[in-house]
Amino acid sequence: MPERLSFHEEIQKNKLKSIALMLIMILILIGIGYVVAMFFDPSFFFIIMIFSIIISLSYTLISYYNADKIALASVSAKPASKAEHRNFISAAENMALASGLPVPKLYVMRSNQINAFASGRDPKHAIICVTDGAIAKLSRQELEGVIAHEMSHIANYDIRFMTFTAIVIGMISIIAELFLRSLWFSGGNNDSRSKGNGILIIVGIALAILAPLLSTLVSLAISRKREFAADATGVKLTRYPTGLASALKKIKHESLTQEDKHRFPKAVAPLFISDPFKKKFTNLFSTHPNIDDRISKLERM
């Protein structure tokens, strides 16, 4: 018989893994920063750091404070109606009560596929959006399981956490780009190269090329851990893992129609409870864990 899992332990484990992965990203940032500081004058690196922080913060924070509006507009979502979406509204109110959070603003998007997403910078500015298919095809318990998962993203401040990872990735990418461009435009006249620091140049170029890729892979791994944590936190809210597990089983067997492909922008896909474009399989470049693994964990809780 499979070993039983504790949702408390699963929540803690996945949060700790997320923090550990975040520290790896920070180490990558420090590593590329150190190499650039060794290669150039340290004061030059300080200017690069300030420049990269300003650009990365500006771009990311604009997205952060408007994430919910951008996501809703991209899927053409409409506010939930008390007349048409009573079950959805009732399920959201129940999960808000269970989590101790305010009831988020509720929206519905047109799609026969079962899916949902949450967004917003904090619980007071949160939204939850579900598809028509989720409302039509899910039972009350399954819908509550899905809503609980999305409420968990809000409760765990996952949008804020992933925004921080985006800022770090942005800084790494900007520093790497500036480093490579400075090598290109210097024309081989840098004093460090004249002193025979060829190894440092090679290490710097390799790190500048690989660092953005590695940081992106780590960010995707963090995203997968946050999904596992949201599943476990959802179980904590409903005390009924079967609801979410059953909903994921239904999602697993659905296919994306040509019409729906235009309703799910790929830029927003990572927000959904299940990536509309990759449901059954996962790899290093996936934002979501393998759906079978998620179901298996839920059935063991």
CATH (domain of 139): 3.30.2010.10
Taking Cα atoms as reference points, which of 86, 80, 64 lies closest to residue 116?
80
Please tell me whether residues 164 and 215 are part of one structural domain.
yes
What confidence tier does 171 reach under pLDDT thresholds 50, 70, 90? confident
177 included as an active-site residue: no
Distance between CA atoms of residues 127 and 151, nearest Å: 9
Half-sphere exposure of 178 (CA within 13 A, CB side): 24
Confidence of residue 181 (pLDDT cuts 50, 70, 90): confident
pLDDT score recorded for residue 197: 58
121-139 pLDDT, tens digit each: 889 999 999 999 999 999 9
SS (H, E, C) 122-158: CHHHCEEEEEHHHHHHCCHHHHHHHHHHHHHHHHCCH
Of residues 36 and 146, the one with the higher pLDDT is: 146
- Strand-pair partners of 272: 117
**Is residue 163 in a domain?**
yes
Give me the residue label for tokens 């004061």. Answer: 43
| Same-domain pairing of 211 and 83 | no
- Are 166 and 209 within one domain? yes
95 touches 104 (CB < 8 A): no
Of the candidates 33, 47, 48, 35, which has an alpha carbon nearest to the alpha carbon of residue 201? Answer: 35
Residue 301 lies in a domain: no
% of the chain residues with pLDDT over 70 = 90
3-state secondary structure of 254: coil
Q: Structural domain of residue 118, as residue ranges?
A: 75-157+240-284
For 117, the 3-state DSSP assignment is strand
Distance CA 87, CA 204 (A): 56
Q: What is the pLDDT of residues 191-221, one digit of tens each?
A: 544 444 567 677 778 888 888 898 899 999 9
- Split at pLDDT 50, 70, 90, the class of 8 is confident
Task: Kindly give the residue spans of alpha helices, DSSP state H, lying in the chain.
Answer: 7-39, 42-65, 67-74, 86-99, 132-137, 140-155, 158-186, 191-194, 198-238, 241-252, 258-261, 291-299
Measured N-to-C along each axis, helices 198-238 and 86-99 cross at an angle, to the nearest 10 degrees, of 100
The verdict on 15 and 152 lying in the same domain is no
Candidates 285, 36, 286, 231; CA nearest to 276 is: 286
Q: Are residues 60 and 164 in the same domain?
A: yes
Domain assignment present for 101: yes
Residues 138 and 197 in one domain: no
Q: Which range has highest mean pLDDT (35-44, 47-56, 237-246)?
A: 237-246
Give me the pLDDT at residue 192, please. Answer: 46
Residues 216 and 101 in one domain: no
User: 175 and 213 share a domain?
Assistant: yes
CA distance 193 to 200: 9
Residue type for position 49 = M
Q: Could you report the per-residue pLDDT of 265-276, keeping only the tens digit for each? A: 887 888 999 988
29 with 136, same domain? no
Asked if residue 244 belongs to a domain, the reply is yes
Name the active-site residue from 93, 150, 227, 299: 150
> Is residue 46 predicted with pLDDT exceeding 90?
no
Position 77 scores a pLDDT of 95
Alpha-carbon gap, residue 103 to 90, rounded angstroms? 10
- Are residues 244 and 148 both part of a single domain? yes
Give the strand pairing for 127-131 and 116-119. antiparallel
117 forms beta bridges with 129, 272
Residue 289 belongs to a domain: no
Among 175-179, 230-234, 255-259, which range has the highest average pLDDT? 230-234
- Inside any domain, residue 295: no
